[in-house]
Amino acid sequence: MPATDINKKHENTCKLIQRRRLSDAIVVLRQMIHDTGKEYLHDRLNELQETYTQLLKHSFTGVEDPEGEKVYKYLMRSMLEMADQLRETGMVESGRGQVYFLKKELYQTKASEQIEAMQLLEDLTFDDELAGLLRDVNVGEADKSGEREKALSQLFHIIWLADKYSDQENKLLQTACDSDSLPWHDKALIVSALTLSLLRYFDLNKFILLFRFVEKQQDLVWERALTGLFLCFLKYNDRHKLYPALEEKTLQLQSLPYIEQHMEAILVQFIKSRETEKVQKKWEEEIMPEIMKMRPRIEEKLDLDNIFTDPMEEEKNPDWETVFEDAPDLLNKLQELTEMQMDGMDVFISAFSRLKHFPFFREISNWFLPFYSENPQIKEAVKGKDHDGPDLTPLIEKLENTYFMCNSDKYSFCLNLAMVPDQQKAMMMNMLNAEMENISELEKEKDALSKPARAKSIFTQYFQDLYRFYKLHPWRAEFDDIFQLEIDLHGITFVNNLVSEDKSIRNIAEFLFDKHFYDDALRIFLSIIEKDTSNIELFEKIAFCYEKTGEVSKAYEYYKKADLIETNRLWIIKKMAWCAKILNKWDEALEHYLQAEKMTPDDMHIQANIGQCLIHLEKYEEALDYYFKVEVLAPENHKIRRPLAWCSFLLGKFDTARDYLERLLEKEPSNHYDLINLGHVLWCQGHPMQAFKKYVQSIFAWKSIKDFEQSFNEDRKHLSRNGIRETDMNLMLDYLKLQVRSKQSPKK
């Protein structure tokens, strides 16, 4: 069965279970059992169905069952886990993709290599003297350390690709977490394997292990574990309340120091790591074109929205620049993120994306390996040929202790050094040493040694390591991209239990808003405003979010609510006018623009907008007066002649209209609308053959008889009003079609 079908059935089953449609879910589960050939699971499913039947019968007896909800959750858990099992079975048996090939290979070698890898972990965790493989071994010794690295890589695969851990594996990983003998970088690697494994396949024990690593609070390890928990709960949020142990463990984290600040830092960095270009393009490429399709054709004909090259309306309210006065700590944080580079948008990914081709990165575990100078592969790379060249070890040690570059990029940098001639290495050392000193000083100035700031730096590095893996790894198409997961702050139980202060929640909303994640920011702003209905800025930002997500009607509603709280604010008035215009409520738009005109009588944009509204309301004489004002204020703007020409034509001022149109065509001789309008004017002046010629030019400029005809028909009422008979219009169209089609130039 194709992987897409397997995933679709699994997703459908999970949705049915979460919506408490267990009967429907059972039907799909039976189909999945049939597809995979795991007939023995029918017995288990029959047991669950019988339990569910008894629960349903009991629910109608009228006797309240205090255990009923527990049983129901048990059924939901059991069915979800069966769906997971069947999905994984189907994917493995389909044999598609490198990951599942690797998993099959791992199962085949379990009796030998897996035992060896687990034995290494046991030696490390149970023997304080590092007995077995590592006894009396210097980490830098290539042969023995090579065995160690190979075993650690195999261990990573075991942890990552195991669906559920055996009791022995689970106990050993618990011991590894608690061990004082196991190096921190090995524990960090185990945490990454756990996170990848849990993201791939749900298992309660994996969650509990990640909680354990967080609770131990070992530096450089717990930060990765907390990030892993966040990502996994983001994916499995709908299962959180089905497992009491998860709720209990989450609540226990509330007692950890700075936990709220840490969660805020993780959320901010996750937001920064996501692909913002899709969000930024959505308005321009998806929403606005759909809105414009509903606008009258007169907008395109007269190009009313593009009279000025600069935008008619402001975007964000300039008053919002003061938003951080009530949250100076957030402003400081944002400034710090920018200055430290590493905590902003990922500035190094383009530079280092080409340096992931080294054999080092063929091993998946190395994408998550924390950078440490004693790594034997690094020690070899930074020494000169025959070890008589410049020794860059001091530089590498400094690199280890700085946060401005993520671990993956540090390895890329060092491995690239191995390809640099010794003479250039010496030059690089002199140049980079000074730079590293500057970076170290910057980090000290920013108090990078404090607990929250240091943790934030580690979160940033780890997210960037993850980002490189999900965006650059050759097998990336086989992974569910965590950076495509939607974030609903108020919907994530894990986050809600740890981020409870209104201030922190507002900070996150502001950050989402600032980074143009308007859908996500909107959900938070809407929840906040329920508690604070007098905050005008919240109403403004909610309106702005609705505007940017294409819900202009709701945007208009909230701009009007903001106006009720504090009237006569120019920015809000102009926003209300813009919304009314987009919604084709031209009388309301005119009212708002006239109000704005009183406040800024010389604003050309407002004058042009008033003229636009008056044209739509067919008040052409008044519209002409407003466009004349704009012409006086900006005589160099030739585009203003287009509405002036149109209004003059409609008012029977043909000489004036002709003059404007001829001047327009001097600038844009192939403008099909100007050509058809000039044809109208010439015809109404009594020059039908001259009009015919302009119509022909318009058709050729348009390259479509159909589009020309549509525009011509829309203008029939105006021609009729100026004495052109309907019969003559029909004859003109037929004559045009015959002449143009005979030349076979425009498409029909």
Question: In which element (H, E) is residue 185 found?
Answer: helix 184-200
More confident residue, 188 or 416: 188
What is the rounded average pLDDT of the residues 190-215?
97
The pLDDT, as a whole number, for residue 535 is 87
pLDDT(296) > 90: no
**Six-digit token string for 542:** 């909610």
For 119, counting Cβ atoms within 10 Å of its Cβ (0-12 exposed, 13-18 middle, 19+ buried), the class is: middle
144-165 tens-digit pLDDT: 556 778 888 888 998 999 999 9
Closest residue by Cα to residue 114 from 166, 79, 70, 66: 166
User: What pLDDT was estimated at residue 134?
Assistant: 31
What tokens were used for 521? Answer: 């920011």
**Around Cβ 690, how many Cβ atoms within 10 Å?**
15
Give me the mean pLDDT over the 392-397 stretch.
77
Identify the pLDDT of residue 449: 52
Tokens 């109208």 sit on residue? 680
Q: Is the distance from CB of 726 to CB of 720 less than 8 angstroms?
A: yes
pLDDT of residue 382: 67
Q: What's the CA dihedral at 488, 489, 490, 494 to 10 degrees?
A: 110
C-alpha 559/C-alpha 547 separation (Å) is 10
- What is the torsional sign of CA 23, 24, 27, 28? negative
Instruction: Indicate the domain borders of the chain.
Output: 3-96, 99-254, 341-445, 654-748
Using an 8 Å Cβ cutoff, are 209 and 194 in contact? Answer: yes
- Beta carbons of 657 and 649 less than 8 angstroms apart: yes
pLDDT of res. 290: 58
Distance CA 631, CA 638 (A): 9
Q: What is the pLDDT of residues 250-263, one digit of tens each?
A: 999 999 999 999 99
- Rounded CA-CA distance 133/215 in Å is 30
* Higher-confidence position of 614 and 342: 614
Tell me the angle at which helices 68-94 and 3-18 cross, rounded to the nearest 10 degrees: 180
* 622-651: average pLDDT: 90
pLDDT band at 341 (very low <50, low <70, confident <90, very high): very low
Banded model confidence at residue 436, pLDDT cuts 50, 70, 90: low
Question: Which of these, 381, 439, 387, lies nearest to 411 by C-alpha position?
Answer: 381
Specify the residue for token string 């006239």: 594
pLDDT band at 337 (very low <50, low <70, confident <90, very high): very low
Q: Which two tokens stand for residue 175?
A: 């011991």
149 or 612, higher pLDDT: 612
At residue 583, φ and ψ (nearest 5 deg) are -85, 5
CB 573 within 8 A of CB 596: yes
Cβ neighbour number for residue 386 with a 10 Å cutoff: 7
pLDDT reading at 420 higher than 80:
no
Cα angle 648-587-539, degrees, rounded to a multiple of 5: 135
Residue 596 near residue 574 (C-beta atoms within 8 A): yes
Half-sphere exposure in the Cβ direction for 497 (13 Å, CA): 19
For residue 441, pLDDT beyond 70: no
Instruction: Return the amino acid letter for 267.
Output: L
- Structural tokens at position 65: 């069952």
Q: How far apart are the C-alpha atoms of 458 and 452, rounded to whole Å?
A: 10
The pLDDT value recorded for residue 703 is 87
- Number of Cβ atoms within 10 Å of the Cβ of 329: 11
What is the C-alpha separation between 376 and 407, in angstroms, rounded? 15
Question: Could you tell me what percent of the chain has a pLDDT over 70?
Answer: 79
Comparing 217-226, 343-352, 660-669, the range with the smallest average pLDDT is 343-352
Average pLDDT estimate for 619-640: 89
Q: What is the predicted pLDDT for the residue at 330? A: 41
What tens digit of pLDDT does each residue of 63-96 get?
Answer: 777 788 999 999 999 999 999 999 999 988 887 7
Q: What is the DSSP letter of 345?
A: S
**Please, which pLDDT band fits residue 338 given cuts at 50, 70 and 90?**
very low
pLDDT of residue 649: 94
**Span of 193-202, 320-329, 345-354, 685-694 with lowest mean pLDDT:** 320-329
Quote the distance between the C-alpha of residue 410 and its chain's center: 26
Measured CA to CA, the distance from residue 77 to residue 137 in angstroms comes to 47
Q: What are the beta bridge partners of residue 704?
A: 747
Distances (CA, A) of 144 to 147, 149, 154, 380, 577: 5, 9, 16, 15, 74
State residue 716's pLDDT score. 95
Model pLDDT for residues 478-507, shown as the tens digit of each residue: 999 998 887 776 678 898 888 877 777 888
Among 273, 244, 735, 740, which residue's Cα sits nearest to residue 487? 273
Q: What is the mean pLDDT of the chain?
A: 83
Kindly tell me if the per-residue pLDDT of 313 is higher than 60. Answer: no
Question: What is the rounded distance in angstroms from the CA atom of residue 664 to the CA atom of residue 662?
Answer: 5
pLDDT of residue 413: 84
Q: What is the pLDDT of residue 385?
A: 53
How far is residue 736's CA from residue 733's CA, in Å, rounded to a whole number?
5
Cα(639)–Cα(38) distance, rounded to whole angstroms?
Answer: 72
State yes or no: pLDDT of 129 exceeds 70: no
Measured CA to CA in angstroms, residue 621 lies from 161, 335, 658 at distances of: 76, 53, 17
More confident residue, 417 or 536: 536
At 215, list the tokens.
Answer: 């609770």
CB 82 within 8 A of CB 44: yes
pLDDT score of 486: 74
Specify the residue for token string 């109000």: 595
Alpha helices of 446-549 — where are they, by DSSP H?
Answer: 451-472, 493-498, 502-514, 518-529, 536-548
Termini Cα distance of the chain: 47
Question: Using one digit for the tens of pLDDT, what is the confidence trace for 686-710?
Answer: 999 999 999 999 999 988 899 999 9
Q: What would the two tokens of residue 44 be? A: 């288990």
Cα dihedral 31, 36, 42, 48 in deg (nearest 10): -70
Please tell me whether residue 704 adopts helix, strand or coil conformation.
strand
Q: Please, which pLDDT band fits residue 210 given cuts at 50, 70 and 90?
A: very high
Query: For residue 400, what pLDDT is reported?
Result: 85
Mean pLDDT of the 436-456 span: 66
pLDDT of residue 105: 79
Distance CA 714, CA 298 (A): 9
Q: What is the pLDDT of residue 106?
A: 78
pLDDT range class, residue 3, cuts 50, 70, 90? confident
Q: Are 667 and 638 in contact (CB under 8 A)?
A: yes
Q: Which residues make beta-bridge pairs with 747?
A: 704
Tokens of 224: 């990765």
Instruction: Kindly tell me if the per-residue pLDDT of 240 is higher than 70.
Output: yes
pLDDT value for 103: 85
Coil/strand/helix, residue 652: coil
Instruction: Tell me the percentage of the chain whose pLDDT exceeds 90.
Output: 50
Q: Name 538's Cβ contacts closer than 8 Å, sequence gap at least 6.
A: 525, 528, 529, 532
**Higher pLDDT among residues 2 and 469, named by residue:** 469
- The C-alpha atoms of residue 550 and residue 438 are separated, in whole angstroms, by 46
Q: Has residue 342 got a pLDDT over 70?
A: no
Contact call for residues 507 and 330 (beta carbons, < 8 A): yes
Phi, psi of 704, rounded to the nearest 5 degrees: -160, 115
Mean pLDDT confidence for 601-616? 92
